[in-house]
A = this chain, B = another copy of it.
Amino acid sequence: MALPAAFHDIAKRVNNWGRWGEDDEIGTLNLITDEVVRAAAGTVRRGLRVPLALELKEDGVQTGMIPGRVNPLHVMVQVNQELFGPGTVATSDDAVTFGLQAATHWDALTHASHSGRIYNGRPASSITPHGRSAFSGIHTARHVVSRGVLLDVARAKGLDRLPGNHAVTPEDLDEAAEFGRVTVGAGDVVLVRTGQVRQYLAGDKHGYGYPSPGLSVRTPEWFHARDVAAVANDTLTFEIFPPEIEDLWLPVHALDLVEMGMLQGQNWNLEELSTACAQEERYAFLLSAMPEPFVGGTGTPVAPVAVL
């Protein structure tokens, strides 16, 4: 079964292969220039910091549906251990096992492939079980600091949370931008709020994952037209799930990661930010969302922070 012609049409329009040279590994992160970052720092008015990561814990987001993407098993390896003898200073240490995409995370460009290719036309076979990904590993995305823009689609519609079958369209993004009186521009990291994470926060893990509102297959063109650097939202699957087009699974992943070379973020908690932006009446801010530099990683946990 091949991907349908409709997919390939969009793919062609948003494709960035070669745009930053054939050696490029980071795609649209190239759009975050010093100038963009300077402007981002200029958006800070109050100095308010809003963290966007979900807690990392054994009873976390994952339900076992995705094999190997395990919640953190977080264990103590030392507890008040007096390493240098009784009565000395004691230390405690911990270790963890978890899926890099288990909670709030960035997908690396290598997280998805289609038709045997990853971003910039490299063979998907460059991702191996050992050595991990030879190109575009998450450690190559050295820094993600830019202007962040919240497109609060749910709030713009007067909803706490979009319904499970709602595909967020370009029109929805326009509406949210207008609601926030913000213009999305080159190098921006766009955060799209659906409110879906409220399901998880309220204790309904299964309801959180499925069915889920998410980005429509029509959104990559919208992001491409504005030269957005990265996009994150508050869902498990990023794109609407189950998909809009029967038997076309994960098309947004393929378009964003493979064709455009644009990082995607999932399971971001945008609730506190939604409140803060509404109160401040500002939807643009400085965003720092640094990848943990796992060499060759196809994803990374991230603890993003918005500074308003």
Q: Does A2 contact B (CB under 8 A)?
A: yes
Q: Does A193 contact B (CB under 8 A)?
A: no
For A29-65 the 0/1 string (1 means CB < 8 A from B) is 0000111111111101111111101111111000010
Q: Are A305 and B91 in touch, CB under 8 angstroms?
A: no
Which residue from B89, B133, B247 sits with its C-beta under 8 Å from A249?
B89
Q: Determine the distance from Cα of A40 to Cα of B2 in the docked complex, in whole angstroms.
A: 52
Which residue from B48, B111, B301 sits with its C-beta under 8 Å from A34?
B48
Q: Are A80 and B113 in touch, CB under 8 angstroms?
A: yes
Stretch from A17-25, A96-104, A156-164, A227-235 at the B interface: A96-104
For A83-105 the 0/1 string (1 means CB < 8 A from B) is 11111111111111111110000
Which residues of the partner chain B approach A70 to less than 8 Å between Cβ atoms?
Answer: 70, 73, 95
Q: Are B111 and A92 in touch, CB under 8 angstroms?
A: yes
What is the total number of residues of chain A having a CB less than 8 Å from a CB of chain B?
Answer: 103
Check A47/B37 contact, CB under 8 A, given A298-B94, A299-B93.
yes
Q: Does A81 contact B (CB under 8 A)?
A: yes
Q: Does A251 contact B (CB under 8 A)?
A: yes
Which residues of the partner chain B approach A254 to less than 8 Å between Cβ atoms?
Answer: 89
Which residues of the partner chain B approach A46 to less than 8 Å between Cβ atoms?
Answer: 34, 38
Stretch from A178-186, A196-204, A207-215, A289-297 at the B interface: A289-297
Nearest opposing residue in chain B for A294, CB measure: B56
Q: Determine the distance from Cα of A256 to Cα of B3 in the docked complex, in whole angstroms.
A: 43
Q: Which residues of A in the span 258-308 have a Cβ within 8 Å of any Cβ on B?
A: 286, 288, 290-299, 301, 303-305, 307
Which residues of the partner chain B approach A49 to less than 8 Å between Cβ atoms?
Answer: 37, 142-143, 145
Nearest opposing residue in chain B for A64, CB measure: B59
Q: Are A44 and B38 in touch, CB under 8 angstroms?
A: yes
Q: Are A99 and B90 in touch, CB under 8 angstroms?
A: no
Q: Which residues of A in the span 226-244 have a Cβ within 8 Å of any Cβ on B?
A: none
Which residues of the partner chain B approach A91 to less than 8 Å between Cβ atoms?
Answer: 111-113, 250, 253
Which residue from B1, B44, B77, B290 sits with its C-beta under 8 Å from A130?
B77
Q: Determine the distance from Cα of A145 to Cα of B84 in the docked complex, in whole angstroms.
A: 34
Check A96/B294 contact, CB under 8 A, given A47-B38, A88-B250.
yes
A-B contact pairs, 30 of them (CB 8 A): A1-B88, A2-B87, A34-B46, A34-B48, A36-B47, A38-B47, A41-B286, A49-B143, A56-B297, A58-B64, A67-B77, A68-B73, A68-B77, A72-B294, A76-B76, A76-B132, A76-B298, A77-B99, A77-B130, A78-B129, A80-B124, A88-B250, A91-B111, A91-B112, A92-B113, A92-B133, A93-B298, A96-B98, A145-B305, A288-B305
Contacts from A to B (Cβ < 8 Å): 1-3, 33-42, 44-51, 53-59, 64, 66-70, 72-81, 83-101, 110-114, 124-125, 127-130, 132-133, 139, 142-143, 145, 247, 249-251, 253-254, 286, 288, 290-299, 301, 303-305, 307
